[in-house]
Structure 1
Amino acid sequence: MNKLRLLVDSVWRLTWESREAAHCEELFVPFNPWRESDLCMPSLAGYLENAEPGSSFKLNLSPGKYLPQYQTDKKYEFALESFASGTRPPHVGRFYPKYLLMGYFGNPTPFRCIDRQGGKFTADFNHPLAGRFLTLEVMVREIKQKRDEKGGECLDWLDILTSGPGIEARYQGLPTDFFEDDPFHREDEGDDRAFFAQPRLVSHVDTQAQAIMAALYSRLLKPGLAVLDLMSSWQSHLPHGLELGSLVGLGMNAAELQHNPQLTSHLIHDLNTDPDLPFADGQFDAVICNLSVEYLVRPFEVFAEAARVLRPGGLFIHTFSHRWFPPKVVKIWTELHEFERIGLVLEYFLRSGAFGNLKTFSSRGWPRPRADRYYPRMRFADPVYAVWGEKLA
């Protein structure tokens, strides 16, 4: 088959581990062999040029094979005055774009603050995945024929896949300082019940993102389970046909909850006012929270309560994206890189001390559905991020 006439729709999956969790990153890739083979490793390019639909290819990437080894000489000490004027000093463990440093104007590449003492701080310029063992799996979905080649983008897909991942991990296992400077302040500190009183029967992510969330839940949840849907609404984003034992919705708006066909029961409860859950110890097999963790102003108490109402081994699952209601989102969420938000939710889990076998997931780059109201102004579907853990015995 002439590679000049091919477009290979594929999903590239990167898996890796940190001290805290196992991580899985997915990227939808419409690979163009004619334009992009030269940007790939030869073995990967050769596979994609001759791939069949439904086939897959796996490659282990040891440190230095694609990404560089971790280099200690990429740590630099700066005076605090070198950090952008008018901003707070960098927090240890956090990532920041280099353009906040004097002399790096316009450079968006992230660096990590790994130490701050006196009037100085240390910046780590290593790639967030440097020194890690990675596994790449490429799964071919469809081979498309093209009539001709008229030019267009030429992309390094492996570079795109590895841009962001790694940021969610702690630095050398140390807690990340997310919690200085009033992190849970909100633009609107008024009564949440008033803000959410008007039903919003609209989807907060597009249908492609919803399908990814449902597919994730189909892998994590089994029929017959008793599940609690925290901060629930008119959609629970569970796969159709999943016959749970029960699905209890806890949310803020009665009309939205009544419109949710998957709930077996529901109740009104404001977790920001009262994080105590009105359920017995060990009542549920799983607790889920969709597109809402960014609104929690008392997350540590909520995570402790989720652990209390879960049976040992039960899952606490959070999914989120890159959209929210600005007046009610907590300040720290808006200040973070998208992958750093995964790290924040991981930190909630780790601080609770109640969960183990932590895992994270990201899925990006999918085409936005043509029927979506934001298409074609927005080319890509909403990304999906997830973090979950098992209650310890």
Structure 2
Amino acid sequence: MSIPTPPATPPGPTPHTTSPVRTPPRTQLSTPPPRFVTHIDDAAIASLRAYYAQVLPPVVSQTGPSPRILDLCSSWTSHFPSRIYDAVGKGEVEVWGLGMNARELERNPVFRDGGGWGVWDLNREGKGDVGVAVKATILKTVRGSGGEVEVGSPSPSTQPQHQEAGKEQGDTPPLLDATTCVVSTDYLTQPLSVFSSLLRLTKPGGSVHLTISNRCFPTKAIARWLRVDEEERLQMVGDYLFFAGWKRIEIVELSDGRVRGSDGDGSGEGEGEQGGLGAFMRALGMDAGRRDPLWVVRGVKE
């Protein structure tokens, strides 16, 4: 089955609501056992990797700082393209991860060289600040080029929001160039705290990329996620970013969920699905012409 190079449609502005985003009700907070599975299908993963290859920070010149990517709500795989893994191994890109399960995170190859990960539950009361999470976990072991990186707690706008330990006030510590989060935004119970604190950690011009599908664990997703349709979910995630202070918010469709034939009609013809496996799947009542739909809601810090 061929996979179109994403984005499948041009991005457009997110339609924001006028009412403030309210903190969703709390959900089940227990940490599940490790699960070494993927939560979107192979076609969606391939589309996401192709998208990341287009938008994530490129390898910079050796005279500049290495870009840094944070994978939020991470697990044993991050779906990055091979160039990111190669750059991490060469020390040209640094990737950090925050997740819920240590056994999953330690299996992720992108954190093994030149990066770091931390276990943190962003849904716990008072734990929705990404800067505090990074400082309490990753920054205990990861060192920047000028010594240990420190990120201060949130402070009034008249005070510096980030400061490196042992440095004079005014020195700028390394911050994030990009953040990714794959099919996990629907579980966040403190989204405004998470995304406003993430904005403070991000360099001007840095970006956030929130991948959304139609799959979820119903017992863990916030209540409103289960009540609204896919379009309203995308709008809600866009509102999270908007009210957290992000700019240039867009929705990118990577897949509408249909498998298209060579003529682009969505029939699946020309893809080897009309006989053999495709016929067998249809005999079982399974739609061989469907794949996981996938979108990215993204924003930029200006």
Which structure has the highest strand share of the two?
1
Tell me the CA shift for residue 195 of structure 1: 3.6
For 1:60-71, list aligned pairs within 5 A.
none
Preserved CA contact (<8 Å) 2:20 2:243: no
Matched residues, percent identical? 30
Paired AA for residue 226 in structure 1: R
Tell me the CA shift for residue 16 of structure 1: 6.6
User: Residue in 2 aligned with 1:272?
Assistant: 123
Task: Count the aligned residue pairs.
Answer: 223
Paired AA for residue 224 in structure 2: I
Aligned partners of 1:16 and 1:270: how far apart in 2? 31
Paired AA for residue 198 in structure 2: A
Residues 1:351 and 1:267: Cα distance change in structure 2 (over 3 Å): same
Tell me the CA shift for residue 275 of structure 1: 1.1
Aligned partners of 1:300 and 1:323: how far apart in 2? 22
For 1:127-166, list aligned pairs within 5 A.
none
Q: TM-score, normalised by structure 2?
A: 0.66
Residues 1:275 and 1:10: Cα distance change in structure 2 (over 3 Å): closer
Aligned partners of 1:340 and 1:220: how far apart in 2? 25
Is 2:237 the counterpart of 1:345?
yes
For 1:45-64, list aligned pairs within 5 A.
none
Preserved CA contact (<8 Å) 2:24 2:222: yes
Preserved CA contact (<8 Å) 1:227 1:247: yes
For 1:329-344, list aligned pairs within 5 A.
329-344=221-236
Aligned partners of 2:177 and 2:219: how far apart in 1? 33
Tell me the CA shift for residue 13 of structure 1: 4.8
Is 2:67 the counterpart of 1:225?
yes
For 1:253-268, list aligned pairs within 5 A.
253-263=101-111, 264-268=115-119
Aligned partners of 2:4 and 2:195: how far apart in 1? 36
Aligned partners of 2:189 and 2:295: how far apart in 1? 20
Q: TM-score, normalised by structure 1?
A: 0.52
Aligned partners of 2:194 and 2:11: how far apart in 1? 29
Paired AA for residue 213 in structure 1: L
Tell me the CA shift for residue 366 of structure 1: 4.0
User: Residue in 2 aligned with 1:289?
Assistant: 181
Aligned partners of 1:247 and 1:290: how far apart in 2? 15
1:287-324 Cα shifts (integer Å, max 9, x gaps): 11111000000000000111011111111110010011
Is 2:36 the counterpart of 1:185?
no
Aligned partners of 2:67 and 2:239: how far apart in 1? 27
Q: Which has the higher contact order (CA 8 A, sep 6+)?
A: 2
Aligned partners of 1:228 and 1:386: how far apart in 2? 16
User: Residue in 2 aligned with 1:169?
Assistant: 15
Preserved CA contact (<8 Å) 1:275 1:301: yes
User: Residue in 1 aligned with 2:38?
Assistant: 203
Query: Which one has the largest radius of gyration?
Result: 1
Tell me the CA shift for residue 381 of structure 1: 1.0
2:82 alignment partner, one of 240, 243, 248: 240
User: Residue in 1 aligned with 2:252?
Assistant: 361
Aligned partners of 2:103 and 2:119: how far apart in 1? 10
Tell me the CA shift for residue 176 of structure 1: 5.1
User: Residue in 1 aligned with 2:209?
Assistant: 317
User: Residue in 1 aligned with 2:292?
Assistant: 382
Preserved CA contact (<8 Å) 2:9 2:252: no
1:194-247 Cα shifts (integer Å, max 9, x gaps): 342x01111100000001111111111123420111110011111112225111
Aligned partners of 1:10 and 1:284: how far apart in 2? 30
Preserved CA contact (<8 Å) 1:361 1:386: yes
Partner SS state of residue 200, structure 2: helix
Aligned partners of 2:78 and 2:70: how far apart in 1? 10
Preserved CA contact (<8 Å) 1:322 1:338: yes
CA-atom RMSD, angstroms?
2.9
Partner SS state of residue 18, structure 2: coil
Paired AA for residue 175 in structure 1: T
Partner SS state of residue 262, structure 1: helix
**Mind listing any 5+ residue stretches in structure 2 that lack a counterpart?**
60-65, 136-150, 152-161, 163-173, 260-267
Aligned partners of 2:237 and 2:129: how far apart in 1? 19
Aligned partners of 1:385 and 1:16: how far apart in 2? 10
1:273-297 Cα shifts (integer Å, max 9, x gaps): 1112234245211111111000000
Aligned partners of 1:239 and 1:261: how far apart in 2? 12
Aligned partners of 1:307 and 1:177: how far apart in 2? 18
Paired AA for residue 117 in structure 2: H
1:152-183 Cα shifts (integer Å, max 9, x gaps): xxxxxxxxxxxxxxxx624xxx525764xxx7
Preserved CA contact (<8 Å) 1:321 1:384: yes
Preserved CA contact (<8 Å) 2:21 2:240: no
Residues 1:390 and 1:177: Cα distance change in structure 2 (over 3 Å): closer
User: Residue in 2 aligned with 1:308?
Assistant: 200
Tell me the CA shift for residue 259 of structure 1: 1.3
1:122-141 Cα shifts (integer Å, max 9, x gaps): xxxxxxxxxxxxxxxxxxxx
